[in-house]
Amino acid sequence: MFRVAIAGAGGMAHMHASCYTANPNACVVGVYDKRPEAAAEMAGANGATAYASFAEMLEAARPDVVDVCVPTPWHVDYVVAAAEAGLKGIVVEKPMGRSVADCEKMADACAASGTPLFVAHVLRFFPEFAEAKRQVDAGAVGNVVTVRTRRGGSFPRAWENWYGKPDWSGGVILDLVIHDLDWLRWTFGDVERVFAKGISPKLPPASEVNSDYALITLKFKSGVIGHVEATWADPGGFKVGFEIAGDAGLLESNFNQPAGVPFVAALQRGAEAGAAVAVPESPTAVNPYYAELDHFLTCLATGATPSITPKDGCEAVRIALAAFESAQTGEPVVLP
Amino acid sequence: MTVKIGILSVAHMHAYSYASAVNALPGAELVGIADHDQARAESAAKTFATRAFGSYEELLAADIDAVIVGSENVRHRPLTEMAAAAGKHILCEKPLATSVADGRAMLAACKSAGVQLMTAFPCRFSPAMVRLKSAVDNGDIGKVIAVRGTNRGRCPFDWFTQLDQSGGGAVIDHTVHVTDLMRWLLKSEVTEVYAEISNRMFQQEFDDTGFLTLEFDNGVFATLDSSWSRPKSFPTWGDVTLSVVGEKGVLTLDMFSQNLVLYSDKTGGVSWSPWGTNIDELMVAAFAKAVASGSPLPITGEDGLAAAAVSFAAYASAKAGKPVAPEVVL
Ligand SMILES: NC(=O)c1ccc[n+]([C@@H]2O[C@H](COP(=O)([O-])OP(=O)(O)OC[C@H]3O[C@@H](n4cnc5c(N)ncnc54)[C@H](O)[C@@H]3O)[C@@H](O)[C@H]2O)c1
């Protein structure tokens, strides 16, 4: 039985907590959040104890695993502190960190203490994305030439409007399509150069927005050309789709449907709905968030290497921040 | 008044659709077809119950008011210049020209002959596109921020992939329609083009893949996929899509999505049978009407050249590995 302590008690933390509670090999023993009432509520719902500080939780709850679900810029603080506590494993939400330097710091700290670190790139556990990689690897479309993804919906409302502060969240380029960037790198290999246009990279520091949009073009080392659409400006509901075109076929999910509806208008209706971030759902027997966390716990139990490494988390952030930089400078950015 | 129309070359498959549009149009008459491939002229003339002329000169000397140029891309210039010299109004297939110099020469020839030149951009006539444009003009989504467009297709091969006939592959073929829609919609010109272009689909000399990023003079940014990336087994020829992102909402257009889906044991495949409006007919009707009334054509040669210049800039950008400004054509 893995004893799990969670840092953060917001939207994603609740999802992770319910997955551990449902898992026969895990239980939530501690919750810490800088808002004590949020920690108390989530602890209560999962039979855990709420703590007044992270250090106290590490000390008193005796966790095997710490799961970091606070907003992105503070991942590094909790992961590094947890790495020094001699745990069995650490989970950190995506994006791994707000900068490549932070990501490397986390990777180094965990390597130094020998603590397995799992970056929760849940998209790899979404069945359609996992199946697409299997099909590509099996040559279903021949040699891949182009790949396009799209992701997003309306603007996510959360604690302190942190998603709306690009300095904190990195906007759609870092926060939202890190999912696709990791899946693309996993499926099509390393990226050679990036060119991007977007709203938030053009804003002065300390800006706050209530929508964001970006279009990213990627050239992979393999020659594949990719396009990533990222939106927090679509009131028409959360949409995810992709298509992969090769010299022997085309594989797609939710992309080229004979919809019979050639025009759609999605308009803002004035006052925003409640504070929540759209979490993509996938109505299959196994919840992908459950699957990713169960995978990590299984690896910890068996000593196997988790399928997502700290380097993966770091590289996805590197690609996203290269796109962010390109959108700032107007020039393509070549990756090392 | 009946508008008498001749077709100069049916090398491009769209010429067949325009010929049947002329035949379907009350008030227009298809006087004849000429082609540098005489057999092709004769078989097309038979299909459309019209006369095959022995040469372009012969057709231009006949009693016609206007011509449709449906040749290979590199012949657009000489055929347009001949038609202008003969005093005929011209509807020219896209891309208007394969270089800015050729395009400028075509505009000048028409101007000095006092004839009108229209570029064949039928997508402007799509009822869904007209609806989208009116929503933007009406301010439904507020200020436009960005546009994501696609115009993909199956590779047409034939002369389209012979660079000395086409002037380029997928990028010259598929950049211009959606670039024109964006210019028309935004009332703005492209100031910068970045492109990733490859030939990895067919591994031949011609480009088959193009992902373009465009910047407009009003600050809007856009991307456009102009690839021949639809496989032979794709259920239809390709697509034209736009997603227009504004401050107050998003408008999406999937121009050719009005289809039945046919699962056929005869062909062993799935195909989409379109039931949407025939936009070629609407375009040819608008051309004929303007010619008949002597009013300005709804789309100009300048429009065609501005869109083509974006495709030329895309090739230059891919070569240089950085964004480039398209040549200012107007
Ligand atoms: N995998 C996914 O699909 C997905 C979806 C949403 C969010 N996320 C990621 O999960 C993380 C959390 O996002 P969220 O949507 O749950 O945010 P949220 O705003 O819902 O919750 C954040 C919580 O963290 C607390 N907090 C803020 N700063 C803190 C600090 N320094 N120390 C302790 N607590 C602090 C806040 O009080 C709040 O309760 C982010 O990294 C985000 O990118 C992933």
Q: Which percentage of chain B shows pLDDT scores above 70?
A: 100
**B135 and B198 share one domain:** yes
pLDDT above 80 (res A280): no
CA dihedral (A284, A285, A289, A291) in degrees, to 10, reads -120
**B169 and B35 share one domain:** no
Nearest to B201 among A145, A148, A257 (CB): A145
pLDDT above 90 (res A273): no
Q: The CATH number of the domain where B84 resides is what? A: 3.40.50.720
Collapsed DSSP state (helix, strand, coil) of residue B214: strand
> Of B115, B131, B150, which closes a domain?
B115
**B72 and B195 share one domain:** no
Interchain CB distance below 8 Å, B200 and A197: no
pLDDT above 70 (res A270): no
The pair of structure tokens assigned to B220 is 């809007």
pLDDT above 70 (res A271): no
Interchain CB distance below 8 Å, A267 and B258: no
Q: For residues B249-271, b (16+ Cβ closer than 10 Å) or e, as one string?
A: bbbbbbbbbbbeeeeeeeeeeeb
Residue B286 in any domain: the answer is no
Would you call B154 an interface residue with chain A, using a CB distance cutoff of 8 Å?
A: no
Nearest to A250 among B230, B258, B322 (CB): B230
Domains of chain A and any CATH numbers: 2-120 (3.40.50.720), 124-281+315-334 (3.30.360.10)
CA B24 to chain centre: 21
The pair of structure tokens assigned to A14 is 């609740």
pLDDT confidence of residue A272: 46
Residue-wise pLDDT for A63-88, tens only, equals 999 999 999 999 999 999 999 999 99
> Of B51, B81, B115, which closes a domain?
B115
pLDDT confidence of residue B5: 98
Measured CA to CA, the distance from residue A167 to residue B174 in angstroms comes to 38
Query: Of the given ranges (A57-61, A271-275, B162-166, B309-313), which has the lowest mean pLDDT?
Result: A271-275
**B186 and B316 share one domain:** yes
pLDDT above 60 (res A282): no
**From residue B4, how far is each of A11, B65, B288, B300 by CA, in Å?**
68, 5, 9, 20
Mutation probe of ligand 1 site: the residue of A159, A287, A292 with most atoms within 8 A of C-beta:
A159
Q: Which domain holds residue B22?
A: 3-115
DSSP string, A90-138: EEEESSS-SSHHHHHHHHHHHHHHT--EEEE-GGGGSHHHHHHHHHHHT
**B89 and B210 share one domain:** no
pLDDT confidence of residue B204: 97
Q: Cβ contacts (< 8 Å) between A143 and chain B: which residues? A: 200
**B96 and B177 share one domain:** no
Residue-wise pLDDT for B235-249, tens only, equals 999 999 999 999 999
Residue B284 in any domain: the answer is no
H or E stretch at B218: none
Mutation probe of ligand 1 site: the residue of A53, A69, A78 with most atoms within 8 A of C-beta:
A69
Contact call for residues A116 and A306 (beta carbons, < 8 A): yes
Q: Which of A211, A178, A210, A216 is nearest to A97 (CA)?
A: A178
pLDDT above 60 (res A281): no
Residue-wise pLDDT for B53-104, tens only, equals 999 999 999 999 999 999 999 999 999 999 999 999 999 999 999 999 999 9
Measured CA to CA, the distance from residue A32 to residue A40 in angstroms comes to 8
Nearest to B148 among A215, A248, A330 (CB): A215
Question: What ipTM score was computed for the predicted complex, to two decimals?
Answer: 0.88
Q: The CATH number of the domain where B247 resides is what? A: 3.30.360.10
Do β-strands A333-334 and A191-198 pair in parallel, antiparallel, or remain unpaired? antiparallel
**B224 and B139 share one domain:** yes
Query: How near does any CA of chain A get to the CA of B145, in Å?
Result: 8
Query: How near does any CA of chain B get to the CA of A265, in Å?
Result: 5
Q: Cβ contacts (< 8 Å) between A247 and chain B: which residues? A: 200-203
The mean predicted confidence, pLDDT, of chain B is 96
Query: Of the given ranges (A87-101, B147-161, B271-285), which has the lowest mean pLDDT?
Result: B271-285
**B252 and B144 share one domain:** yes
**B222 and B127 share one domain:** yes
**B77 and B162 share one domain:** no
Q: Which percentage of chain A shows pLDDT scores above 70?
A: 95
Nearest to A235 among B230, B243, B249 (CB): B249
Query: How near does any CA of chain B get to the CA of A144, in Å?
Result: 8
Look at ligand 1, atom 22, and give the residue with the nearest C-alpha. A10
Residue with tokens 């939780």: A57
Q: How far apart are the first and last CA of chain A?
A: 42
pLDDT above 70 (res A269): no
Interchain CB distance below 8 Å, A332 and B321: yes
What secondary structure, in 3-state letters, does A51-66 show?
ECCHHHHHHHCCCCEE
pLDDT above 90 (res B1): no
How many domains would you assign to chain B? 2
pLDDT above 50 (res A275): no
